[in-house]
Structure 1
Amino acid sequence: MNSNTSPPELKVVEKRESAVVNERAPASDDAEVEVDGIDEIRRSVESYSAEETKRILRKVDYRLIPLLTLLYLLAFIDRGNIANAKIAGLERDLRLHGSQYNIALTLFFVPYGLFEVPSNVVLKILRPSVWIAIMMLAWGTVTTLMGLVQSYEGLLAARFFLGVAESGFFPAATYLLTIWYKRYEVQQRMAIFYGSASLSGAFSGLLAFAIQKMHGVANLAGWRWIFILEGLLPVLLSLAIWFVLPDSPERAKFLTKTEREFLANRLSIETGSGHGRVTNNDKITLGHVIAAFKEWKIYCAILMFWANTIGVYGFTATVPTVINDLGYTAAQAQLLTIPIYVVATMGILTFAYLSDRYQQRTPFIIAGNTIALLGFAAQLAIPHPRYPGLTYAMLFLVAAGLYSAFTPVLCLIANNLAPSSKRAVGMAILISIGNWGGIAGSNIYRAAEKPRYPTGFGVSLAICGIAIITAFFLRFAFKRVNDQRDRLIAEQGEETIRARYTAKELLDMGDLSPFFRYTL
């Protein structure tokens, strides 16, 4: 279990004469990394059989993945339950009119985007278990208090502070996965974790259907109980997370010393080329922050990220209303959202398995956005509400495509940023600016345009098209750099290139190292 006092940690001191992690001295995050001896480290890692490797990874999986999945499920329910509360009476009781509901949706994303980068900087300074527990306590408290708001202004204040409280969790959780798993292991784990977001739509609809029946209990409306009960869960779990969430392989008390060493060593040689080293033990500096903000590939990936956030946040906030407008009752609309999100989750898991198996990211980004684009095109073409069954069926394409393409985008950038401090900031930038797509998504489905929503479906279709073009461009750009670096090593030789730099200089270069290869 974690505690306020840092436990002894594995010291990763790699020298030319001994590349395996030193077993005689515990280490701290402050340890200097003097590296070389790559061949010895590689032999040490390769001495573990496939069965032993699988056994160790399963220990990590069973401890880390269920926790992150549960937490993200709770976070996504708490940010999206306003859609369920709306059709359960929130809009009527707070006398919302015009674009006020859309403004309340939008306000969440302003602080949510602004605070993600600072949050991941804090994450690198504090332990993840501590920082994530603090965030959980905060967002659960805000969600619970949202059930007590009495006015439109109160709703705005609650949504703003919910955005502040939740801002750091998703970038923290996705970054945490990257320091435990190799590049073609991480997406399957991230898919399970992110799949909880799509399942949250199902759980949220089911929970809202049940909770709104508490209407009148303690003289509170049913929609208020949706916020209160769904907010109390993360509050109650936050203290436990402080103690049970593992921070890093080097600090994992549920692993043996040799297992910790094995995980640290196998990740240190994960460059994609079979040469060179990377590090997850670097201390964050201003240079890492600046390097991340200057990284062009992050800004390209933001366009692909927007395809998801514009589509998903608009979709999740509106789909109960879309179904309701097809002639179904509010209760039926809540239940009919469930199969849509179940299919979306199946798509996420299938894409992740195939993406890791074939060690490709961009083809799956292209495929997912193409499926979503076809779904949006169908929604624009179908005369609403004349064909409710067909309209409802096309919602499955939209959800499956949008959700399935998202984890390949995250993993494409996570795989292609090093060292870990640059990755932490870079992923936060991607998620921060990318989540501002939720501002557009929250406002393009206009009440005046129902039941056809031409603006909402049209804008979502267009950004999916842009994401497809961007994925093709990034694939070409990354392959070009990889080919240049392959030619460099073939012409000059690994030893000649290594002789130009110290081992630490090569580590600090991260993804700019001639030995680093980009994931396509």
Structure 2
Amino acid sequence: MAKDIEDGRHSVQEKTIITEVPGDKEHVELAATTVEIPDYTPAEVRRILWKLDLRLLPMLAFFYLLAFLDRGNIGNAKVAGMQTSLGLTGSQYNVALTVFFIPYSLLEVPCNVVAKILKPHIWLSIMMFFWGICMTLMGVVHGYGGLIAARWFLGVCEAGFFPAAAFLLTLFYCRYEVLRRLAVFYSCASLSGAFSGLLAFGLEKMDGVGGLAGWRWIFIIEGFLPIITSVFAFFIVPDSPETCKGLTQEERNFVVHRLQMETGSGMGQVTNNDKMTFGMVLAALKEWRTWAAVVMFWGCATAVYAFTFTIPVVILELGYTAANAQLMTIPVYVVAMLFVIFWAYVSDHFKVRSTFIVIGFMFAVCGLIALLCIPHPKMPGVTYFFLFPTAMGIYCPQQLIVSWTANNSAPSSKRAIAMALLLSIGNLSGVLGSNIFIQNEAPRYWAGYGTCLGLVVAAQIMALVLRRSYAKINAERDLMSEEEIRAKYTDLELIQMGDRSPFFRYTL
């Protein structure tokens, strides 16, 4: 129970928050601690969230822009002459795209285990430094083997970044606040495409500088950026609300308390202070709904990776010069970025995920069908136009899916594994996305556009299946009274149950 105290400025309440106490490695020990929290007005709550936004979003968005820039700039390098310079033949370019995703996907779950154990400022800094090294070295390779090795180790070093950064946001924001922040953060994947085209356009002009081809400078310059940034990241990345600089102690307590009350029913509590245990890892791995979400993630991720690697080439094949093809990718990515943010705000406003996943994918369905039907390359303007709804429809559902998984996974250790599992298996779609746009099918790309269309439709069907499952469980829990639940379980048992608690309600 909360106890009101008057401090001269606010009505201060004594509230209970759950904190971790020392225990052995196999058991979670939590304790209830009473803290004083002012009764903040809605305007003051928005001010606190704004302080968190300024502390987290520009930083993480810039980091992710660098990550996506470095994994996708190989498409720009190809247009700039890399394939000819390295003597790549047949499917060698596609293999170079593919090898990145093998370690990138397989290492995401263990990386998020490390992220939960290590402090985020240490883990994120380490990853950025080493993927910058790999990217820089890619600019000095002299053959197919060197390119393959550099792409492999780039995948190793980038593997844990996105799941760790996305998980970090869930430690600061409530379930209907986190998506719009994830969207701003993730939209930098779209923005990186635009920035990559612009940067590649400029770096190509360095052709011959230092005796190096222009495509090499794309890798070298874009590799130095994360190396430099990693030094700053070590000092500025916050580890948790409890230790976040820029907030008062009362504000920190308030952020922690409101997150712990996020059960969806107004009763019970969840916690972000649980330890990572083997049992919680198993609980996440055995959750079939997370595996079902992977199907949805494949629908957008396959298309996103295929689109990123192929769009400069598609535009080039419409009859434009290489330089203009680089520049013409920019409007497509900018529009996609703005739509991702808008769609996230709408979903948060209506507090629904599945509906907006299905509708979002419809933009991609319309765009992909059109690209399959257009008689390439006879109608370049029409082809270019339909790249826009395609980009909007494949980018906007991705963070809805990540957010939906995060909203419905508790406590935080299970959420960390569930998010990493979704991204790990989901990002294996990069292997598929790297190989479905086959050069000898240019400019129609039947396999590429057709595969993306099939996966998008499958994702829509799975979204409806998951919604039905979650709604059924919510309805069953609504029939249970609070007295009945508390008679059966202790408070600590309910907290440790996470999303299995009868108090927990799933987001639809």
TM-score (norm. length: structure 1) = 0.92
Deviations 1:447-498 (A, max 9, x none): 000001000000000000001101111111111100100012xxxx212311
Question: What is residue 339 of structure 2 aligned with on the other side?
Answer: 347
Question: What is residue 172 of structure 2 aligned with on the other side?
Answer: 180
C-alpha deviation, 1:357, in angstroms: 0.4
Matched letter for residue 103 of structure 1: V
Instruction: Determine the C-alpha separation between the residues in 2 that align with 1:148 and 1:403.
Output: 32
Question: What is residue 519 of structure 1 aligned with on the other side?
Answer: 507
State whether residues 296 and 458 of structure 2, in contact with CA within 8 Å, keep that contact through their aligned partners in structure 1.
yes
C-alpha deviation, 1:194, in angstroms: 0.3
Question: What is residue 502 of structure 1 aligned with on the other side?
Answer: 490
Deviations 1:143-178 (A, max 9, x none): 001000000010000000000000000000100000
Change (3 A) 1:455 1:113: same
Does 2:57 correspond to 1:65? yes
State whether residues 108 and 163 of structure 2, in contact with CA within 8 Å, keep that contact through their aligned partners in structure 1.
yes
Matched letter for residue 497 of structure 1: I
Instruction: Determine the C-alpha separation between the residues in 2 that align with 1:128 and 1:232.
Output: 22
Question: What is residue 451 of structure 1 aligned with on the other side?
Answer: 443
Matched letter for residue 492 of structure 2: K
Change (3 A) 1:27 1:463: closer
Within the candidate set 145, 162, 169, 1:170 is matched to 162
- 1:286-297 equivalent positions in 2, closer than 5 A: 286-297=278-289
Instruction: Determine the C-alpha separation between the residues in 1 that align with 2:270 and 2:490.
Output: 13
Within the candidate set 226, 229, 232, 2:221 is matched to 229
Instruction: Determine the C-alpha separation between the residues in 1 that align with 2:330 and 2:476.
Output: 48
Total equivalences in the alignment: 492
Within the candidate set 52, 66, 72, 1:74 is matched to 66
Instruction: Determine the C-alpha separation between the residues in 2 that align with 1:87 and 1:174.
Output: 32
- 1:444-483 equivalent positions in 2, closer than 5 A: 444-483=436-475
Question: What is residue 264 of structure 1 aligned with on the other side?
Answer: 256
Does 2:20 correspond to 1:20? no
Within the candidate set 245, 253, 264, 2:237 is matched to 245
Question: What is residue 400 of structure 2 aligned with on the other side?
Answer: 408
Instruction: Determine the C-alpha separation between the residues in 2 that align with 1:46 and 1:240.
Output: 34
Deviations 1:170-225 (A, max 9, x none): 00010000010000000111110000000000000000000110000000000000
C-alpha deviation, 1:373, in angstroms: 1.0
Does 2:326 correspond to 1:334? yes
State whether residues 366 and 468 of structure 1, in contact with CA within 8 Å, keep that contact through their aligned partners in structure 2.
yes
Instruction: Determine the C-alpha separation between the residues in 2 that align with 1:221 and 1:151.
Output: 14
Instruction: Determine the C-alpha separation between the residues in 2 that align with 1:404 and 1:129.
Output: 28
Change (3 A) 1:322 1:29: farther
SS in 2 for 1:34: strand
Within the candidate set 41, 49, 52, 2:41 is matched to 49
Does 2:205 correspond to 1:217? no
Matched letter for residue 507 of structure 2: T
Instruction: Determine the C-alpha separation between the residues in 2 that align with 1:441 and 1:368.
Output: 20
- 1:86-97 equivalent positions in 2, closer than 5 A: 86-97=78-89
Question: What is residue 129 of structure 1 aligned with on the other side?
Answer: 121
Instruction: Determine the C-alpha separation between the residues in 1 that align with 2:21 and 2:452.
Output: 47
Does 2:22 correspond to 1:34? no
Change (3 A) 1:228 1:28: farther
Within the candidate set 349, 359, 380, 1:357 is matched to 349
Matched letter for residue 304 of structure 1: M
Instruction: Determine the C-alpha separation between the residues in 2 that align with 1:379 and 1:78.
Output: 28
Matched letter for residue 114 of structure 1: L
Higher deviation after alignment, 26-35 or 218-227 = 26-35
SS in 2 for 1:422: helix
State whether residues 35 and 504 of structure 1, in contact with CA within 8 Å, keep that contact through their aligned partners in structure 2.
no
Instruction: Determine the C-alpha separation between the residues in 1 that align with 2:158 and 2:31.
Output: 38
SS in 2 for 1:20: strand
Change (3 A) 1:87 1:58: same
State whether residues 35 and 503 of structure 1, in contact with CA within 8 Å, keep that contact through their aligned partners in structure 2.
no
Change (3 A) 1:398 1:46: farther
SS in 1 for 2:54: helix
Matched letter for residue 500 of structure 1: K
Give unpaired runs (5+ residues) of structure 2: 1-12
Question: What is residue 7 of structure 1 aligned with on the other side?
Answer: none
State whether residues 373 and 465 of structure 1, in contact with CA within 8 Å, keep that contact through their aligned partners in structure 2.
yes
Matched letter for residue 494 of structure 1: E
Does 2:108 correspond to 1:111? no
C-alpha deviation, 1:51, in angstroms: 1.0
Instruction: Determine the C-alpha separation between the residues in 1 that align with 2:201 and 2:81.
Output: 12
C-alpha deviation, 1:19, in angstroms: 3.7
Change (3 A) 1:516 1:21: closer
Deviations 1:322-379 (A, max 9, x none): 0000000100100000000011011101100000000000111101111101111000
Give unpaired runs (5+ residues) of structure 1: 1-16
Matched letter for residue 242 of structure 1: F
Percent of aligned pairs sharing the same letter: 54
Matched letter for residue 156 of structure 1: I
Matched letter for residue 230 of structure 2: S
Within the candidate set 136, 141, 145, 2:133 is matched to 141
State whether residues 143 and 158 of structure 1, in contact with CA within 8 Å, keep that contact through their aligned partners in structure 2.
yes
Does 2:166 correspond to 1:193? no
C-alpha deviation, 1:27, in angstroms: 7.6
Matched letter for residue 104 of structure 2: Y
Matched letter for residue 262 of structure 2: E
C-alpha deviation, 1:45, in angstroms: 6.6
C-alpha deviation, 1:34, in angstroms: 3.1
Instruction: Determine the C-alpha separation between the residues in 1 that align with 2:79 and 2:245.
Output: 47
Matched letter for residue 208 of structure 1: A
State whether residues 34 and 503 of structure 1, in contact with CA within 8 Å, keep that contact through their aligned partners in structure 2.
no
State whether residues 312 and 325 of structure 2, in contact with CA within 8 Å, keep that contact through their aligned partners in structure 1.
yes
Instruction: Determine the C-alpha separation between the residues in 2 that align with 1:329 and 1:470.
Output: 41
C-alpha deviation, 1:18, in angstroms: 6.4
Deviations 1:412-470 (A, max 9, x none): 00000000000001100000000001110000000000001000000000000001101
C-alpha deviation, 1:239, in angstroms: 1.2
Within the candidate set 351, 362, 365, 1:370 is matched to 362
Instruction: Determine the C-alpha separation between the residues in 1 that align with 2:484 and 2:376.
Output: 67
Instruction: Determine the C-alpha separation between the residues in 1 that align with 2:379 and 2:320.
Output: 13
Question: What is residue 277 of structure 2 aligned with on the other side?
Answer: 285
RMSD of aligned Cα (Å): 1.7
Question: What is residue 5 of structure 2 aligned with on the other side?
Answer: none
